[in-house]
């Protein structure tokens, strides 16, 4: 369990010399499907007041805290599309004594089966008749304030109702090439040869300070956005050749792990009308939580996406 922290790509984690993600690939882990919804919705019981609330991730802010325990609070703290979504969530989300975070997918309708909350379009097998569609993914605990909340992956299925559909596809690691669909294992053990090679390669690497790592990641994102190859000999003038080689190797390990992930759901996912597996997966282990995403595919589309509506109908 951790504080409410931003998930990192495995390859980004190694830039300052923290190689614990390599161990995470080989130990027991739980995978969940990442849903590309927007905005993030947090709801449940406010530990400070005991009242039901809804909000965005701003409920965790240290200063400008926006916790909504009434429709009046929503109007005071939010505006536009976000306010409209929060009003419906406050009205239709099942009340709970827990604190939960999820991604908003859209408003249901008797004649709607496609939703584009962000970069990915989700097409359901049937029309979604519930008023709101939310994908829960994180469970929080706190006896004091929301700022002190500790996060854990949402491992249990939540029960919706006739007004709210919860989307929680079963995700798993497939045992190996040719194994039956649905068969799973509890780690990415098949990545061990590359993980061992990465550890050996790391002994030749000069790692970065936090400040230097930010510059490195910014340049990586520029390459992805402009579809440039990342070549160790020329990347940033070849200054970080060995580190870049290790970075690309960890990225390869991540993609191999991503290739072993599967899920079961009642929708298909598309980017620019091309069917995709989804945004990716989240890997949860006792060493941390990491996102398994094909950055060349998803991040490029995200960089170049326009302004999306909550519902494309």
Q: What is the pLDDT of residue 296?
A: 85
Q: What is the pLDDT of residue 310?
A: 37
What would the pLDDT profile of 32-78 be if each residue is shown by its tens digit? Answer: 999 999 999 999 999 999 999 999 999 999 889 999 999 999 999 99
- pTM of structure: 0.88
- CB-based contacts of 181-187 (< 8 A; 24+ apart in sequence): 181/262, 182/264, 186/28, 186/29, 187/25, 187/26, 187/27, 187/28, 187/29
> What is the chain's Cα-based Rg?
21
Q: What is the mean pLDDT of residues 5-13?
A: 88
Q: What is the pLDDT of residue 110?
A: 85
Which of 2-11, 99-108, 150-159 tops mean pLDDT?
A: 99-108
- Residue 74 CA to chain centroid, in angstroms? 25
Q: What is the pLDDT of residue 307?
A: 41
High-pLDDT (> 90) share of the chain, %: 81
Q: What is the pLDDT of residue 5?
A: 56
What would the pLDDT profile of 215-255 be if each residue is shown by its tens digit? Answer: 999 999 999 888 899 999 999 999 999 999 999 999 999 99
Q: What is the pLDDT of residue 6?
A: 67
Q: What is the pLDDT of residue 278?
A: 85
Contact 10, 254 (CB under 8 A): yes
Contact 24, 9 (CB under 8 A): no
Q: What is the mean pLDDT of residues 200-221?
A: 97
**Which tokens hold the place of 169?**
């596809």
Instruction: Give the helix/strand (H/E) hosting 139.
Output: strand 132-141
Contact 232, 241 (CB under 8 A): yes
- Higher-confidence residue of 308 and 171: namely 171
The pLDDT of residue 309 is above 60: no
Domain chopping of the chain, boundaries: 2-33+173-303, 40-166
Q: What is the pLDDT of residue 173?
A: 94
Q: What is the mean pLDDT of residues 193-206?
A: 98
What would the pLDDT profile of 138-166 be if each residue is shown by its tens digit? Answer: 999 999 999 999 998 888 899 999 999 99
Model confidence at 114, pLDDT cuts 50, 70, 90, reads very high
- Residue 235 CA to chain centroid, in angstroms? 28
The pLDDT of residue 299 is above 80: no
| Bridge partner residues of 285 (DSSP) | 288
Q: What is the pLDDT of residue 3?
A: 56
SS3 content of the chain, % helix, strand, coil (to 5): 30, 25, 45
- Higher-confidence residue of 91 and 309: namely 91
What would the pLDDT profile of 268-289 be if each residue is shown by its tens digit? Answer: 999 988 898 889 999 999 999 9
The pLDDT of residue 312 is above 70: no
**Which tokens hold the place of 158?**
């939540």
What is the rounded distance in angstroms from the CA atom of residue 191 to the CA atom of residue 79? 47
Q: Name the E strands within the chain.
A: 2-3, 30-34, 40-45, 52-55, 99-107, 114-115, 121-124, 132-141, 150-153, 164-166, 170-174, 184-185, 261-264, 267-271, 274-276, 280-285, 288-292
The pLDDT of residue 179 is above 70: no
The pLDDT of residue 305 is above 80: no
**Which tokens hold the place of 139?**
């469970």
Contact 242, 204 (CB under 8 A): yes
What is the rounded distance in angstroms from the CA atom of residue 168 to the CA atom of residue 104? 12
CA distances from 115 to 83, 110, 226, 278 (A): 19, 13, 28, 13
Please, which residues have CB within 8 angstroms of residue 22's CB and are 6 or more apart in sequence? 14, 195, 198, 199, 250, 253
């Amino acid at each position: 369990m951790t504080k409410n922290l931003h998930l990192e790509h495995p390859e980004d984690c190694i830039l300052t010399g923290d190689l614990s993600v390599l161990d995470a690939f080989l130990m027991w882990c739980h995978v969940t499907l990442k849903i590309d919804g927007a905005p993030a919705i947090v709801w449940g019981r406010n530990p400070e007041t005991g009242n039901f609330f809804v909000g965005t991730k701003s409920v965790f802010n240290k200063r400008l805290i926006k916790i909504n325990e009434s429709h009046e609070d929503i109007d005071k703290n939010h505006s536009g599309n976000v306010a409209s979504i929060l009003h419906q969530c406050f009205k239709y989300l099942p009340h709970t004594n827990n604190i939960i975070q999820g991604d908003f997918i859209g408003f249901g309708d008797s004649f709607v089966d496609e939703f584009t909350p962000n970069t990915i379009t989700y097409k359901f097998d049937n029309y979604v008749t519930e008023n709101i569609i939310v994908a829960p993914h994180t469970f929080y605990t706190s006896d004091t304030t929301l700022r002190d909340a500790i996060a854990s992956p949402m491992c249990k299925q939540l029960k919706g109702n006739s007004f709210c559909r919860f989307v929680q596809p079963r995700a798993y690691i497939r045992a190996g090439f040719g194994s039956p669909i649905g068969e799973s294992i509890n780690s990415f053990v098949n990545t061990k040869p590359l993980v061992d090679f990465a550890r050996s390669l790391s002994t030749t690497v000069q790692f970065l300070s936090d400040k230097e790592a930010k510059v490195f990641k910014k340049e990586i994102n520029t390459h992805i956005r402009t579809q440039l190859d990342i070549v160790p000999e020329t990347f940033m003038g070849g200054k970080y050749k060995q580190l870049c080689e290790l970075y690309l190797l960890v990225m390869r390990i991540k993609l191999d792990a991503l290739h072993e992930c599967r899920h079961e759901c009642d929708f298909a996912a598309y980017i620019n009308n091309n069917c995709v597996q989804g945004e990716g997966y989240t890997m949860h282990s006792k060493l941390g939580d990491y996102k398994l995403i094909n950055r060349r595919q998803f991040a490029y589309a995200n960089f170049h996406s326009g302004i999306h509506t909550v519902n494309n109908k």
